Amino acid sequence: MRALNKQLMRGTRVLGSTLLLSGLAVTPAVADETPSPSPSDGSSAPTSAGTSFRTATEIDQGEQATASGSAGDYLYWSFPADAGQRPTVRATVKLPDTHASEAWQLDVYDGLRRRQACQYGAQTRTAAAGTASVELACTLRTVRAWSEQWANDPLPGTYYVRLTAVNLPTSDLGLPVEAELRVDSKDIGGSAAVDGSLAEPLVPGIAVKSEDTEDSSTTSAVLSSIEPDDGWASGWWSDRWVWTAIGGALAALAGVGGYALTRGSGRPRQVPPGV
């Protein structure tokens, strides 16, 4: 009986050591929740903006886009956002030396062109007369892999940014302006995971592309060529699986330890057989 107890205690120590080593190996990968995109070379960054959803200029996350326009124009950009990311859009509008009071607004739409609410940031700001520039920001909610049809949750796919002046005085119409736009994301991880995923990301032209793959003789009509650096996530994997495995191992360890502590030393020596 003592030999059995020794084996149980030895197994407990071995299991604990294995669990500790596996936890140390997994922790760096799980804790790495730094912003996902890396800044790209500014020489290849876009220097213009579109004037509608269909002509929106495509930019990558971490890229500094610039554009020249006139007060009263609608400036459009588009960028990809995947499940588990929380994008932040920042825009700076450089105004002419002489201008009246102007209000500028930054709007973000998802792949279904639904306007998305901002969790943080100054989405609308008023520039007083003579102000050199105005800065806007919008931090979206975390992109979900799937949601109910009635919900307005952000979903994986292409997102559109619209920058424009609202309630613009007539005297300022047509004045030259310079705009800068940048999109960064933070990877939220398994805390934002859901049990489900979209069949395809909400990317313009994805339905046409899916239909054309059945007939190789036709040309796929893809209206958007941007996607995350590591491709679109499948939606089923998240770091919740890692923590679930660690939790299961801890539960097994607790069970073995509890059994070893509560079982006792067995039959007393002084009790004769058959009693």
**Cα distance between the two ends of the chain:** 18
- What is the extent of the structural domain holding 83? 42-191
Provide, rounded to the nearest whole percent, the portion of the chain with pLDDT above 90.
42
- For residues 70 and 178, state if they share a domain: yes
Contact 163, 118 (CB under 8 A): no
- For residues 59 and 158, state if they share a domain: yes
| pLDDT tens digits, one per residue of 159-177 | 999 999 998 999 999 999 9
| Best CA proximity match to 86, nearest among 117, 52, 55 | 117
Give the DSSP per-residue string, 19-76: HHHHHHHHHHHHH--SBS--PPPGGGS----BSSSTTPEE--TT-EEEEEEETT--EE
Position 43 pLDDT exceeds 80: no
- For residues 61 and 104, state if they share a domain: yes
Indicate the Cα dihedral angle 36, 42, 46, 49, nearest 10°.
Answer: 80
pLDDT category, 147, cuts 50, 70, 90? confident
Strand 57-58 vs strand 75-81: parallel, antiparallel, or unpaired?
parallel
Position 34 pLDDT exceeds 90: no
pLDDT category, 44, cuts 50, 70, 90? confident
Does 185 reside within a domain? Answer: yes
3-state secondary structure of 177: strand
- For residues 113 and 244, state if they share a domain: no
Provide, rounded to the nearest whole percent, the portion of the chain with pLDDT above 70.
63
Position 261 pLDDT exceeds 50: yes
Does 274 reside within a domain? Answer: no
| pLDDT tens digits, one per residue of 92-115 | 999 999 999 999 999 999 999 999
Does 208 reside within a domain? Answer: no
Position 184 pLDDT exceeds 70: yes
The larger pLDDT score, comparing residue 36 to residue 243, is at: 243
| pLDDT tens digits, one per residue of 186-232 | 887 665 566 666 778 888 865 554 445 555 444 444 456 676 666 66
Does 267 reside within a domain? Answer: no
pLDDT value of position 227? 67
- For residues 66 and 163, state if they share a domain: yes
How far is it, in rounded angstroms, from Cα 35 to Cα 46?
A: 21
How many domains does the structure of the chain reveal? 2
The pLDDT of 116-144, averaged and rounded, is: 93
Position 40 pLDDT exceeds 60: no
Give the DSSP per-residue string, 97-139: SS---EEEEEEEE-TT-PBPPEEES-SEEEEPTT-SEEEEEEE
- For residues 78 and 145, state if they share a domain: yes
Does 269 reside within a domain? Answer: no
Any idea what the CATH number is for the domain that residue 67 is in? 2.60.120.380
pLDDT value of position 203? 86
pLDDT value of position 57? 94
Does 58 reside within a domain? Answer: yes
- For residues 90 and 172, state if they share a domain: yes
Position 68 pLDDT exceeds 80: yes
Average pLDDT of the chain to the nearest whole number? 77
pTM value is 0.67
pLDDT value of position 14? 46
Does 199 reside within a domain? Answer: no
**Sequence-ordered list of residues with C-beta below 8 angstroms from that of 175, at least 6 positions apart, any chain:** 70, 71, 95, 96, 99
Does 272 reside within a domain? Answer: no
| pLDDT tens digits, one per residue of 148-157 | 778 888 889 9
- For residues 140 and 244, state if they share a domain: no
The larger pLDDT score, comparing residue 182 to residue 223, is at: 182
